[in-house]
Structure formats: structure tokens, C-alpha cells
Chains A and B, each alone.
Chain A
Amino acid sequence: MGDQSRRAPALSVRGLSKHFGERVAFDDVSFEVSQGEVFGLLGPNGAGKTTTVRTLGTLIAPTSGSATVAGIPLSSGNDEEIRKRIAIMPESPGLYLRLTVAENLECFAGLYELSNGDERIQAALRAVNLVDRANDPCHALSKGLRQRVSLARTLLSDPSVLFLDEPTSGLDPAAAHEVHYLIDGLRNRGVTIFLTTHRLEEAEQLCDRVAIMNTTLRTIGRPDELRDRIFHKSIEVRTRIPLPDPAAVLDGLPGVDRWRLDRSGVYVISVSDPTLAAPEITRALVRAGADLLSLVETRHSLEEVYLELIHEQAEVKSK
């Protein structure tokens, strides 16, 4: 039983939908998040990310579908029990600005009925490096520090699943970096994190797996898996002067599927296996007497994957 519960997913979502009257917030969403995983939900504004978090966090009732959150089936009778096991950090920190950092945390320690409230407050403050600001009123804190207090608040109850809704929204790069560092620290402690963001580099840096959503779930997987799934692997070759007859050099090489010359004079060669194709291409170019400046494997960013998927969906809709 103990082993089973340890192996059970932290989140399991099956065909979950939420409609507000005619408006579809999200539709037929299914995924699983393992315990200790950092899972990212990516999507443009209005894609249904926040509504998904609110639904899994029992603030909003789903229209259809089912889910298990922290091992408990999502239903109105289980709301309180689910909320005891999870914590949600909303996009806006939502702090009581007239109260101090410690007073804000004291209030939430009471709401979670923590018997060792003071200890937990200190531990949460240590986790976000804010022990020395405990007695500062929240209105005196910068946006980045407020976000850290909000994160400390979610850590108070030692949740099984932590939902972070756009945790770096509106933060400057330095403050966002600090939040990334803290989230990375939580991952190392084995906390299951469900993160929504539209900052793709953030998802790429922090998440074990990501799902791209735009009302419906477009794709799900590890960032490198998604790249491979969406884009062909390719090698970019730059020569000092254009090849007189590139077809004679590149066509028929082992591992090369096709090639094209882009506008900046770079040969973009689609390959099935870069490790096999790269030496063959190099030898062919040397044989042809080309002055080779660089030969690099192209790495598509998650941003390109994301834009490709969103663009693809927009095209399907317009048809």
C-alpha cells in the first residue's frame, strides 16, 4: 500500500473540461504528473492555464472529466482534504500589504492549522532567504521579494503538490532568476511542482516535462522530445563562398534527407542522424574544395516548438 501510494501519480487528469456557458476555458485535457516531477503547462494568454490550476486546486468545478489530486479524487466532497495537501501560488502574490511578512505567514499557518507554526514560518522564510525581512511590512517590499513571500506562504504546509501560476510574471530578469533558483531548490527537495508559464526559457530550464496548451492540450513531453517530434534534425553549414554546385556535393550523402540554402548563405541540411551525417558532410565539403567556416547541429528552442504548434493550430482553425 505504501509502495503503491509512493508510485501513484501526484496528479492524474482524464478528459477534464471547463466551460463558462458558451465559452470554453479548456477542453478534454488529460495528463499525469509523477511525484517529485516539475511539470510545466505552457500556453498563450487565455489558453486556460490558470483555469486548469484553479480547477485542480478545487476553486472551480470542472464541467466534465475526472482528476486525482495528491491521491484524492477531485470532487466537491473532497475539496477540503485536497486543499490540505496542495498549495497554490497565484499569479499575483495577494499579500496583506499592511501586515509584516511574518504576520502574513502567521495567518496562513493558522489557516492550515499548523501545530508548529513558528517553526514552519522560520523554515519557509529560510527556504526563500527572507529571515532578515520577517518584520518588514509587505508594502515596503519589492515585487520580487513579495513573490518570494508568496512562495514562502505556499511552502508553510509542506504540500504534496505545489501549483505555481506564472511565478515570474512581471518580474525583472534578476528577480525572475531568484525565483528560478528557489524553484530549482524545491525540485531538489523532491516537491512535485505544477508550473504554468508563457516564458518558454523558464519552462525549458525548470521543467522535466511540459505540456503545450491552447484550450486543448497540443502536445506533452520532455522539451528535447518535443523538439525532435516537431522539427527535423538539421546541420547548418557555412562556407566562405557559396558552393558552385551544392547538389553535386550534398545529394545522396549517407544520412542526408534534403538541404536548402537560406537567405544568409547558410546551407541547412536535414539529417536523420547528425552523428552519422556530420563527418560525411565534412568529408564531402573538403573533397569539393570548399572553405568550411562552421558546421553545427541546429538546436531548436522550446520557443520554436511552441510557436510552431500555436501557429499550426491557428492555421487549422482558420481553415
Chain B
Amino acid sequence: MSFSRTRTLAIFHKELREYRRNRLIVVTMVILPVIFIAIPIVLIFTASHSESSTQLENSIGAELLFMLVIPAMIPSTLASYSVVGERDQGTLEPVLTTPIRSEEFAIGKALAVLVPTLVISYVAFLVYLACALFAHPSVTSAVFGSSHLLILLLFTPLLASWSIWAGIAISTRSSDVRVAQSLGTFASFPPFILTALILFNVIPQTFGSILGLVAALLLFASLGWRLVSAMFNRERLVSGTRS
């Protein structure tokens, strides 16, 4: 039996349709990024251009950190709801009675969270950059000239992937939606904190430190589905007890 793209896409499309029909999800997906880009946008226009280049770089680092909350936070709530939420609504058992494999189910769910997260994050990012063009030239050149930009581009999908796999893993093992969502939010913090430490040069912003974190997150992003599939136990999910 081989991996089925059709079954994975069936879950992916179903999830996207459900998001679109759920006003609360749509509103949350829009409001959260608006909040987290409003503050950086205000900051680029209020930043003092008399600051030293190091000070300016640090303040831009702080702004960009705000924006990294978007790919870290949005998926954690959705992902941690994905399995336990279906179980709660009674929709999981019919799906598990079909030939779908654990990996296909997990990847379908993960993609359905990843795609909107990336779209929203990069759109927010573009809005920020567009606004930065109209800031003071020293701020504009600090935004476009720093390595922060690369960090933001690179870390957006990696942080999102971490939050998604951690959230789904928690969701497969949780029996309560609220607990899963709280744990999912906590689980999204560790790589976010590491990224912040690099952005603020607490961990020296060297090629090695960035590469190390990228490699760790990339490994987790590419192996997350294996971890989640291994944790996925149909018997526990339908009966509450393990085989």
C-alpha cells in the first residue's frame, strides 16, 4: 500500500472548506496578523533616525519579532484543535473507518494549516515592507539592508511547521480541546524564543548559530509527520484506551 495523494488532498480540501465556513477562524486569522503588523508599522514611523545603527538594528529586530509571532501563533491553535476537535465533534470515527493512513491524515491536516499560515504571514510581511519604503531613509535602509529580512523569510515556514507538528502531536494525545490548545500555544514558544535570542544577538547572530537552528527546525519540519503518525493510535482515538 502506498501513500495516497488523493486521500491527503481530501483531508486538505475538507479542512480549508471548514475554515472558510467558520467565521471565528477567519476573524482570528485576520485579526491576529493585523495586530502583529500594526505595532511594527507604527514603530518604523516613530523610530528615531538619530539612533545609532546598532540601536536601529535592534529596534527593527524587535519589530520583526512581532511579525514572527504570526507564523508561530496562528497554526498552534488550529493544529492543536485538528484531531481532538474532530474527536469531540464525533467526525473522527467515520474518517478512521476509511482506508486513510495515519501519515496521510496528518499531512492533510498539516498542509491545511500551513498554506493559510504562509499566505497570511508573507502578506503581512509584504505590507510591512511596503510601509517601510515610506519611512525615514535611514530606517528604510536598515529594514532592507539587515540580515533580519532573511531571518524572517527563512524562519516563517520553519516556525509554522514546528507549531503545526507540535500542535497536531498534542492534539492526537489530548482528550480535551482546551487543554490541547493551551499546550499547543506553549509548544510554539521554544523555537520562537531561540529565534528571538538570535535576532537580539543574545545568541551571536553568526552563520553557524542561524544554520544550526535552521537545521534543527528543518529536521523537525520534515520528520514531524513521522512523529505524529507514530503517536496516532486509532484504538485510543475511538475508545479512549490504548491497544
Contacts and interface: CB of A to CB of B under 8 A. Distances in A.
Interface of A: 20-21, 51, 54, 57-61, 80-81, 83-84, 86-88, 90, 92-99, 103, 106-113, 137, 150, 153
B94 A110 contact: no
Contact of A108 (B17, B18, B96, B98): B98
B119 interface: no
7 contacts: A54-B238, A92-B90, A96-B91, A98-B18, A99-B21, A103-B17, A111-B95
Contact of B234 (A59, A106, A110, A150): A59
B176 interface: no
A21 B241 CA distance: 9
Contacts of A107: 10-11, 13-14
A264 B40 CA distance: 89
Interface string B86-99: 00011111111111
Given A20-B241, A99-B14, A111 B90 contact: no
Contacts of A150: 94
A111 B17 contact: no
For chain B, give the interface size range.
Answer: 20 to 34
A103 B21 CA distance: 12
Contacts of A88: 93-94, 97
A299 B100 CA distance: 48
B7 A59 contact: no
Given A59-B238, A60-B239, A110-B9, A96 B14 contact: yes
Nearest to A57: B97
B173 interface: no
Given A59-B238, A61-B235, A94 B99 contact: no
Contacts of B239: 20, 51, 54, 59-60
Given A60-B238, A107-B13, A112-B98, 10 more contacts: A57-B97, A59-B235, A88-B93, A88-B94, A93-B90, A98-B17, A98-B21, A98-B22, A113-B4, A113-B99
Given A107-B14, A110-B10, A84 B99 contact: yes
Nearest to A157: B98
A112 B238 contact: no
Contacts of B241: 20-21
A84 B99 CA distance: 5
A83 B99 contact: yes
Nearest to B235: A60
Nearest to B18: A98
Nearest to A86: B97
A144 B243 CA distance: 34
A109 B10 CA distance: 8
A213 to B, nearest CB: 18
Contacts of B97: 57, 59, 83, 86-88, 90
B6 interface: yes
